[in-house]
Amino acid sequence: MSFLSHKPIESVAEARARAKRLLPKDVFTAMEAGSDSGATMRENLRAFEQIGMIPRVGVDIPTRPDLKTRFMGMDIDLPVVIAPAAAQAMHPDGEVGVARAASRAGTVMGLSNFASMPVESVASANSQLVGHLYLSGDRDTMADRVERFRRAGVKGLIFTLDLSASRVVHQPRDWGSPVYPDGLGLGTFLKYAPTAALHPRWTLRYLRRGSVPGLYAPNMSKKGGAVPTLIGGLNEWIGTHIPTWEDMAWLSNLWGGPFMIKGLVTPDDARRAIDVGATAIGVSNHGGNNLDTTPSPLRFLPAVVKAVGDQAEVTFDSGVRRGTDVVKALALGATSVMIGRPWFYGLATDGERGVYEVLETFRVTIERALIGLGKSSIKALTPDDLVVPKDFFIDEIAVARY
């Protein structure tokens, strides 16, 4: 049940505004903030605004253009995929609600190994689920987690490679970082009681469900071991060596199925990923949550697409907020786009229904953009549909100078 207005969400901006009003400041900041000054996060948004689109008129096209594509070998009806994310203390629906919303929208959900709900429960809500891992613990521990994903019915595996610069629990940010509680003891309840009282609608959601915000990481548990807290899981990850290409080759071989390496921006890294077994490349700077002042991955996308050719799928994320952003990324060669903060806003606003409504805002605005461009399908999009500033793209030679 929703405790907000039942007025449907009509844009990501509206979902964000509702989430900001509803959530405690620490929860919203944890979801919203980028690393350090947030320069990369802002650059990700600006990059899309710098690219224009060329309208075409008088074209005979259907009123509902074709949005179908493939993601990690799966057919999907919407080229917008739920990116994996941890610590979903936004709504008691949690990852299961997100999975249901994605299934209803005809798309895939990525599930983080730091998720607050077990993979088995989430997989039962969406048959098109991909699992996400960081390198954490020794290889036996990693192998056990991979096998758990496999037994749960996960269809593909995503490994995020780019969060090496942020391997601290409380990452410093210019606007301040919230401190994540280590579990839910009496001290935690007393400390956050005033916050809960000041945000009654958010608090009542959990009270009426008889639950609490997810501060545990059930998919990080070891055989026969207790479920760790989120902080406990993060500490294990921080204590593990930074992943190498050798680790990626081992993991790809262990999984043996669709395998994405995410967090790449340069053509040479994309080629290395294919060499170690990646079937999909995730062009991304982690939404501005890794190395601050990194250029938008949109500026690198065509060079990566060219380097990859037909050897792997190319997906894109970082700064996507509306359907026109999706269309621009697809026109530059991506086969699909992943979103993070937008679905978080929807979850915070109205749980499963909020996530579904955010996905539908993307569907509607993608269709509207295609009609404006005179295209009957996302497959017909090309760079010729765009107006791009001179020197916007970072090609392979520029990467070498960069």
Domains plus CATH for the chain? 12-385 (3.20.20.70)
Contact 253, 291 (CB under 8 A): no
Q: Do the Cβ atoms of 180 and 30 come closer than 8 Å?
A: yes
Task: State both tokens at 373.
Answer: 């461009």
When pLDDT is cut at 50, 70 and 90, the band that residue 200 belongs to is confident
Residue 100, number of CB atoms within 10 A of its CB: 21
The percent of the chain in helix, strand and coil, each rounded to the nearest 5, is 45, 15, 40
Q: Tell me if 280 sits within 8 A of 25, measured CB to CB.
A: no
Reported confidence tier of residue 181, pLDDT bands at 50, 70, 90: low
Residue 231 binned pLDDT confidence (cut-offs 50, 70, 90): confident
| Residue found by looking up tokens 């780019």 in the block | 162
What radius of gyration, in Å, describes the C-alpha atoms of the chain?
20
> Cα torsion at 352, 353, 354, 357 (round to 10°)?
130
Phi/psi at 52 (5° precision): -100, 170
For residues 83 and 158, give the distance between their C-alpha atoms in angstroms, rounded to a whole number: 10
User: SS3 for 91-157, per residue?
Assistant: CCCHHHHHHHHHHHHCCCEEEECCCCCCHHHHHCCCCCEEEEECCCCCHHHHHHHHHHHHHHCCCEE
Three-class DSSP labels, 248-312 = HHHHHHHHCCCEEEEEECCHHHHHHHHHCCCCEEEECCHHHCCCCCCCCHHHCHHHHHHHHCCCC
Q: With CA atoms as reference, report the closest residue to 214 among 247, 181, 174.
A: 181
Written as one letter, the residue type at 45 is: L
Instruction: State the pLDDT at residue 1.
Output: 40
Lowest mean pLDDT among 39-48, 138-147, 158-167, 237-246: 158-167
Indicate yes or no: pTM above 0.75.
yes
Q: Is 307 in contact with 396 (CB distance < 8 Å)?
A: yes
Q: Is the pLDDT of residue 165 over 60?
A: no
Rounded mean pLDDT of the chain?
A: 90
- Please state whether beta strands 280-283 and 129-133 pair in parallel, antiparallel, or not at all (unpaired): unpaired
Decide: residue 235, CB within 10 A, 0-12 exposed, 13-18 middle, 19+ buried: middle
**The residue to which tokens 């098109």 are assigned:** 128
| Residues marked as catalytic | 286
**Which pLDDT belongs to residue 111?**
97
> Environment class of residue 55 by beta-carbon count within 10 Å: exposed (0-12), middle (13-18) or buried (19+)?
exposed
pLDDT tens digits for 336-393? Answer: 999 999 999 999 999 999 999 999 999 999 999 999 999 999 999 999 999 999 999 9
E strands present in 19-94: 52-53, 69-71, 74-76, 80-82
CA 259 to chain centre: 16
Q: How many CB atoms are closer than 10 A to CB 39?
A: 15
* Joined tokens for residue 393: 């793209």
Residue 364: phi and psi, rounded to 5, are -65, -45
Q: For residues 105-112, give the mean pLDDT.
A: 97
Contact by Cβ (8 Å): 373, 385: yes
Whether 134 shows a pLDDT value over 70: the answer reads: yes
For the stretch 236-268, pLDDT in tens is 998 899 999 999 999 999 999 999 999 999 999
Residue-level pLDDT at 6: 73
